Structure 1
């Protein structure tokens, strides 16, 4: 029997546990490393925001947020992804309607996620197949509910 998911079940802040890409040939990759960090927020107003980053990102040589070498900027972009916008929940599918994104190709698109598991402590999302490193892959993202006052 499929789990009935209410919008209230998603609302809150989730911390990333892991993100992996599973390829049809059995290969599994961790695009932001095995210790990636991130947050996923779902608001009661129907908006979401997701950020994922490699655990140890190199610092720029400057403190100026609007400058940096082309190489520094490229490395920063490769080690980070974020997007946000309204979301809709239908059964075990949550659709993220992307309004802003580090990856500009996602803006104006819907990113579909399948809820594989959800309880008060953990959320497991599966992506629809995506193109990653030139091959089709499915993303699996495991999130832990952020508990106020804890070190999560």
Structure 2
């Protein structure tokens, strides 16, 4: 894991985070275009044991033939130091409702790296890495 803080608790993640970079590789490790475009947009709010996330392609022109990526979901969450887990109560994806979303997690100060499991995105099996930067923190963090 990337420079991880020792055993952080869920409250260490409290705040508002913005997506600063999204990377993707195919199942063989070859780099793919940024999944949320060149102008990546994303925000996550984590507080009081709950999270709400929205991510989308922020590019004005997506004439490359690929659909505009968008995902949003939220619900109660847990942080186990190397794993961030959300019990999905609301989602733009019906297949996520009632399920659990797990991400490998690495926290270093106000940077958070989340890695979803290897999965199919639009017919291409991918590994992704989402790099977040905290833009607001409550006084207790």
TM-score of the alignment, normalized to the shorter chain, above 0.5: yes
Q: Which has the larger radius of gyration?
A: 1
Is residue 136 from structure 1 mapped to residue 118 from structure 2 by the alignment?
no
Task: Structure 2: state its 5+ residue gaps.
Answer: 62-66
Partners of 2:103 and 2:94 lie apart in 1 by 19
Q: What's the C-alpha RMSD, in Å, of the aligned pairs?
A: 2.1
Contact 1:38–1:52 (8 Å) recurs in 2: yes
Please list every run of at least 4 consecutive aligned residues from structure 1 whose deviation after the TM superposition is greater than 6 angstroms.
none
- Structure with the larger RCO, 1 or 2 (CA within 8 Å, 6+ apart): 2
Q: How does the TM-score come out when normalised to structure 2?
A: 0.80
Whole-angstrom distance in 2 between the partners of 1:16 and 1:90: 21
> Residues 47-66 of structure 1 correspond to what in structure 2 (within 5 A)?
47-57=50-60
Kindly indicate whether residue 16 of structure 2 is the aligned counterpart of residue 13 of structure 1. yes
* Structure 2 equivalent of residue 30 of structure 1: 34
Alpha carbons 2:15, 2:136 under 8 Å: kept: no
Alignment gaps of 5+ in structure 1? 59-74
CA separation in 2, counterparts of 1:138 and 1:81?
Answer: 16
Of the three residues 113, 119, 126, the one matched with 2:108 is 119
Query: Normalised by the size of structure 1, how large is the TM-score?
Result: 0.74
Compare the two structures and name the one with the higher helix fraction: 1
Query: Contact 2:76/2:88 (CA < 8 Å) preserved in 1?
Result: yes
Q: Deviations over 1:80-131 (max 9, x none)?
A: 211111111223111111111111111111110111x313321111111121
Matched-pair contact (CA < 8 Å) for 2:17–2:44: yes
How many pairs are equivalent? Answer: 128
Instruction: Say if 2:27 and 2:118, in contact at 8 Å, map to a contact too.
Output: no
